[in-house]
Amino acid sequence: MTCANRRAWIEVDTGALRHNLIQLRRLLPEGCGLLAVVKANAYGHGAAECAAVCQQAGVRAFAVATAAEGAALRERGIAGEILVLGYSGAEAVPLLSRYCLSQAVVSLDHARLLNACGLPLRVHWKVDTGMHRLGFAWDRPEVLASAFACQHLQVCGLFTHLSDAEAPDPESRSRTQTQIDRFFQMVQYLRSAGYEPGILHLQGSYGLLNYGGIPGCGWVRAGIALYGLLSSPQDTTRFSADLRPVLSLRARVAQVHTLQAGEPAGYDGAFTAQRPSRLALVTIGYADGWPRSLSRGRGRVLVRGQSAPIAGLICMDQLLADVTGIAGVSPGDTVTLIGRDGDACLTAGEAAQAADTITNELLSRLGERLERVLTNQSGDAPAL
């Protein structure tokens, strides 16, 4: 490994990313493309790096949360469609227009606000089909139709977001089907009134994995599945894809301490040695995005291919691991927080569950301070 002088870093397995792209594309119907969701620094993986790998593999559409995220991708050479999913006010229009980004437009007021800037702007209309997050109301299609009068807005697409696609119970499935029906009612209304809605898209990862291809859609917006994960490890999906985790998180042992039984360590005496112990100081902390809620043995790390519980309270930039049972732990050893070490493996799902959250949150909070290192551990997949 070429990481001998790094403090704490993320390894991005580009072979796994390409592999996941191929697996997900297999589920798409004819004429439907994969849009790579790379918001929040590609769920912590590194947006420019991941988007470049996807682009190389033939992906022509990307989604981000903010205009600034989109502009940063363009600066790094990402072409094709870049859709800003989150709300942008009038102040973002010069940036959106200059970088040829597409903006989600969520209401008639929003459309008029952006149109009033007088700059040409690509837009995708967002329809609220029941989630009540963002969007034009599904049952007032004439309101959306009137937004087509905004002369500076170039309508490129129409989309909605499913709120319950991950849940297999009949009520959730019926709510999802209702959302799908409402979306296509809107499409029908617009087309019969002579308005062309452009490219249609409504599924994220779970929408695809639980509902398969939906005829008429031009894109599926894949986020978490592209990174080889489900949001919660116990989730099951109707269609299975052989997904491989893309991200590993590693740090280093800086020092090893020998404690006698009864000796405390760390802040607030949150750890007291119950027996003669050895503690390894690991070079990563909550400011790097490793949740403090994994303190006091709720989380664990891998050292020398073995599991070591986190001892005491996680600090801002470092943590202690109890390596009493592991022979030979020394300064400079690599510590794995997510990923494989020999035969042992620690998944993002396990850490997320222990921290009482989902993989999406755990990964997207991994900090700027972590260097992103591209690797190809999975072996390569053929370019498309």
Ligand X SMILES: *Cc1c(COP(=O)(O)O)cnc(C)c1O
**Binding interface with ligand X (CB under 6 A):** 37, 39, 85, 161, 204-206, 221-225
Minimum distance between the CB of residue 84 and ligand X, rounded to whole angstroms? 11
10 Å Cβ neighbour count for 134?
18
Q: Which is nearer to ligand X, 160 or 336 (CB)?
A: 160
The first and second tokens of residue 144, run together, are 């959306």
Minimum distance between the CB of residue 280 and ligand X, rounded to whole angstroms? 34
d(CA 336, CA 343): 12
The one catalytic residue among 43, 87, 227, 267: 267
C-alpha distances out from residue 63 to 36, 71, 142, Å: 6, 12, 27
Is the Cβ–Cβ distance between 273 and 261 less than 8 Å? yes
Q: Which is nearer to ligand X, 37 or 127 (CB)?
A: 37
Q: Which is nearer to ligand X, 70 or 223 (CB)?
A: 223
The first and second tokens of residue 375, run together, are 């690797």
The first and second tokens of residue 308, run together, are 């070591």
Minimum distance between the CB of residue 370 and ligand X, rounded to whole angstroms? 20
Is the Cβ–Cβ distance between 297 and 319 less than 8 Å? no
H or E element, residue 122:
strand 121-128
Is the Cβ–Cβ distance between 84 and 97 less than 8 Å? no
C-alpha closest to that of 53 among 12, 113, 99: 12
Q: Which is nearer to ligand X, 3 or 87 (CB)?
A: 87
Strands 153-159, 371-375: pairing is: unpaired
Residues 6+ apart with CB under 8 A from 348: 229, 245, 247, 338, 359, 362, 363
Minimum distance between the CB of residue 26 and ligand X, rounded to whole angstroms? 16
The one catalytic residue among 39, 206, 211, 227: 39
Q: Which is nearer to ligand X, 231 or 283 (CB)?
A: 231
Verify whether residue 267 is a known catalytic residue. yes
Minimum distance between the CB of residue 201 and ligand X, rounded to whole angstroms? 8
Q: Find the angle CA(334)-CA(351)-CA(165) to the nearest 5 degrees.
A: 135
d(CA 204, CA 13): 22
H or E element, residue 48:
helix 47-56
Q: Would you give the DSSP letter of residue 293?
A: G
The first and second tokens of residue 271, run together, are 């750890």
Q: Which is nearer to ligand X, 237 or 334 (CB)?
A: 237
Minimum distance between the CB of residue 204 and ligand X, rounded to whole angstroms? 3
Is the Cβ–Cβ distance between 135 and 129 less than 8 Å? yes
Helix, strand or coil, per DSSP, at residue 332: coil
Residue 34 bridge partners (DSSP): 220
Residue nearest to ligand X (CB): 223
Q: Which is nearer to ligand X, 114 or 358 (CB)?
A: 358
Minimum distance between the CB of residue 232 and ligand X, rounded to whole angstroms? 11
Verify whether residue 189 is a known catalytic residue. no
The first and second tokens of residue 208, run together, are 């695809």
Catalytic residues: 39, 267
